Amino acid sequence: MNNARKGSGLLKTVLVIDDDLDTLAFMNKILTNAGYEFLQAVSVKESQITIQNFAPHLILVDYKLGEENGFEILNYLKSVNSMRLIPVVMMSSTVNKKLVLQALSSGALEFIGKPLKAATIVQKVKKILKQHELPTIIFKESPKVLAKCIAETIKINEMNVLLQSSVKFDTKTPLKIDSAFFNNLGANNCRFNTEGEPFVANPGVYRTKVNFKGMNENTARKIRNIKVQT
Amino acid sequence: MNDTIVVKIDKDLEDIIPSFLENRRKDLEKVKDAISQNDFKTIESIAHKLAGNAGSYGLDDLGEIGMKLEVAASKEEFPLVEELFQNYRDYMNKLTIEFQ
């Protein structure tokens, strides 16, 4: 289906899964007019690909998808850890208590009966997206990230360097230093670890002693020979 | 008996209404063929979609016909299916849309 060139990241994306093309055309019209990025799929397989590619903010899925059904989408989302927080609304023109309860107990956030009315849909989408805004995700196994900060070199010897920055580092924190000054010294291959409590130079400005490990003699000599211009 | 059924529809839907109506006319032909072959499954499937989409486009009465046709087809009630098909065809023939 026509989901190409979607996913700009500027708009909230809503995926509508339905095997009825006229329902998709209607939903495209009202959701696009309401300021959402509209994605569509007509089958379970196509839905899985779209979910993987776009990780939509909200999914509206029809109960009956030809020979397939919307529960297959709910089960798929539960099986993919990164997608299980996507809110899902199941919809159908077949509405009975048993089906509604089954949908809700299978992971659907809400169940809405067809025919879908424009005002109801927009109101519901708006409400759900507001409730599910900026979820906080706590990882069991924390993914590693590289956070960069700007620092100034206050003083240096062949054992350590004193860096000043707005970040208050813990002691014995491994650092990566990306600096033309350090590269010229040949120190870019050293390992760096903070040592001791940072010294508060000014409110919000900290000086941290960083030890060198693995420094070769050539770099040590260059440091000793640094001439500071006065 | 009125010769026209006038339905007022939101102007926002003006550009997608023609293809919706065209698809309903194609469905009418499919239902007609399915009736001639006692293919209730196809009728039920078409009627199910009609029950779900017509009301969205503002054609609530057509959606009602779809809903009744779906139930009648699921029960294989041939005379009722034929009667509802006639209702469906009459509705489409008499329909006049005004955008507002």
The interface predicted TM-score of the complex, written ipTM, equals: 0.95
pLDDT digits (tens, 9 = 90+) for A34-93: 999 999 999 999 999 999 999 999 999 999 999 999 999 999 999 998 888 899 999 999
pLDDT digits (tens, 9 = 90+) for B22-78: 999 999 999 999 999 999 999 999 999 999 999 999 999 999 999 999 999 999 999
Question: Which amino acid would we find at residue A158?
Answer: E
Task: Give the separation between CA B70 and CA B85, rounded to whole angstroms.
Answer: 11
Q: Which domains does chain B have, with CATH numbers?
A: 5-99 (1.20.120.160)
**Hey, is the C-beta of B3 within 8 angstroms of any chain A C-beta?**
no
**Hey, is the C-beta of A115 within 8 angstroms of any chain B C-beta?**
yes
**Hey, is the C-beta of A95 within 8 angstroms of any chain B C-beta?**
no
pTM reported for the whole predicted model? 0.71
| Cβ-Cβ contacts under 8 Å, B60 against chain A | 115
pLDDT in tens, chain A (230 residues): 567 656 655 789 999 999 999 999 999 999 999 999 999 999 999 999 999 999 999 999 999 999 999 999 999 999 998 888 899 999 999 889 999 999 999 999 999 999 999 999 999 999 999 988 756 677 888 888 888 889 999 999 989 999 999 998 888 888 988 889 999 998 888 999 999 888 898 888 999 999 999 999 999 999 988 877 65
Pairing of strands A110-113, B95-99: unpaired
Q: Is residue B16 exposed (0-12), middle (13-18) or buried (19+ Cβ within 10 Å)?
A: middle
- Which of A17, A114, A124 should one mutate to test binding to chain B, selecting the residue with the greatest count of B CBs within 10 A? A114
Residue with tokens 């293919």: B39
Q: How near does any CA of chain A get to the CA of B16, in Å?
A: 7
Provide the token pair at B86. 């006639």
Q: How near does any CA of chain A get to the CA of B32, in Å?
A: 20
